[in-house]
Structure 1
Amino acid sequence: MGKYIGKEFSRVDGVAKVTGAAPYAAEFHVPGTAHGYLVMSRIAKGTITKIDTAAAEKSPGVVRVFTHKNTPKFAHPEKYKSFKALQSPEIVFNAQPIAVVVAETFEEARAAANLVEATYRREDPSTDFFGRVEEAEQAPDSPFSGKSVQTTGDAEQAMSSAEITFEAEYTIPAEHHNPMEPHAAVAYWKNGKLKIFDKSQDVYTVRSNLAAALGVPEDDVHVVSPYVGGAFGCSIRTNYYPFLTAMMARELKRPVKLVYTRRQMFTGHGYRPFTHQKIQLGAKKTGELISIIHEAANNTSTVEK
């Protein structure tokens, strides 16, 4: 690292980004593109008992309104199951998408989205972290982060023999990534093959998941993401909007663009969860660290556990 620290280096994409030459997902233009706008739930848990799209469908420029009633079912074969929108009337998180209005322009789609009316049967969501933490399940092992419980030696025994010990608890609040570039996708089909411009940090996983969910070979899915305008990890997993965009483009037989608003960046995507951590350190009087015991708990999706 010595040859890099304290020295200036040019980023591969730096010049393109600062000069405005770098195209981001929402900026790819495909002739004939229709624009989607998400309609979000106003409850955190429950069931949609009625959704009225009549006024929205009559609004100027509207092409179609998609809800759980008329959206094709996605397959769920991918190894890491992700939430897919508009598949049932069940509400499992706050500001869950319950409809997408597609219109000739973004402004027409947004105006019509405000006309969609939904009624719900409400249920009490689980939001009390410390009231439920004792019921927490052990996190499963992950191919990304390894085993959820990692042990080296006998930490408890070493702690009991330590001459100096230190214990503390820490909490870290939930953090929303909210990078400068919002989540966005532009999709179109040609000769049964999908091309999608997506804000993604992992285009190959997006390709695999889209192919599986839409029932097409991976070779027939082309995911394009030449530049990412900030992500901080929030664009690693395949979110629900690429599935929706690709589905709508296939159903409407024309290109479709779907872009989050800034407000939806706080509610329509995942976030870094609240965490509660306990740490114990044991050391000799010489300062030699001989034991570390670290336990962490965080909230997660009950849908994807």
Structure 2
Amino acid sequence: MTELKIGVVGIPGKWSTEILAEELEARTGFRCVIDMADVVLDLKSRSLSAGNHNLCGFDGLIIKKISQEYSPATLDRLDLLRIAEASGVRVFSKTRSIFSLVNRLSCTLTLSDAGIPMPATCITESIDEAALAVQRFGTSVFKPLFSTKARGMTLIEAQSDGDRLRQDIAAFKAENPVMYLQKKVNLSGRDLGMVFLAGEYLGTYARVAKEGSWNTTIHDGGRYEAFTPEPSLIDLARRAQAPFDLDFTTVDVGLTDEGPVVFEVSAFGGFKGALEGASIDAASLYASYAIEKVRS
């Protein structure tokens, strides 16, 4: 056993958080799961604590999940962890890297700047402009800027009744002042999770939609299965994740009639899909990687 202290920022009791903590404990003899709701920052002493633990005294922190659901408060929690980073604690992935992914708009703009193909997208605060985009796109997926697993996403179809269309859009805008909408592409009920550790490709799994569901998320009844991609698809996913400088991530890719598109790059990556769909023990690999980096 080593004397390393590497904590897991996550959701206590959740499988992915606990399995990562177990892998670290098996290698170091130290186990600590940190719920950000329990973290206290004292700026005068520049201390960051969780219970009896001084996080600024840790060797490393792995951010597996910083909140149950994404929201602007997620960014506040990341800001707190900057104190530990500034104290010399190695944080996986860096807070600045995660910042650029938690907000869907920020992630999309970075992907666009890198020339990554995505579904046709419109971002606007105008109901009239959103209605015009829906008419151009046909069926559109309206997505909250802060969400995971398709939570809060709404399908709105093009229609001849302009007033009804605007009413549907206004209902979404009531909860999402800045509207993000994408053309709904034909995925044939399946999309891909392509897994990377330190920029190196590990493997791919497919998410298959439950019959009758428009999205593939496990949250809505989807399932995982194995998938072997072409080299060109691996290259696309590698280019998509590269600008974010992440230690571990999953790139969400869709195979459409017009070619592959990237939906997003995950701030944290999925362990269960990697394990069940691609037989990748991501928790074990990530724990070993973090220990190596802390020691170096």
Q: TM-score range by the shorter chain?
A: under 0.3
TM-score, structure 1 length as denominator?
0.27
TM-score, structure 2 length as denominator?
0.28
Instruction: Name the structure with the higher helix share.
Output: 2
By relative contact order (CA 8 Å, sep 6+), the higher-ranking structure is: 1
| Larger Rg computed on CA atoms | 1
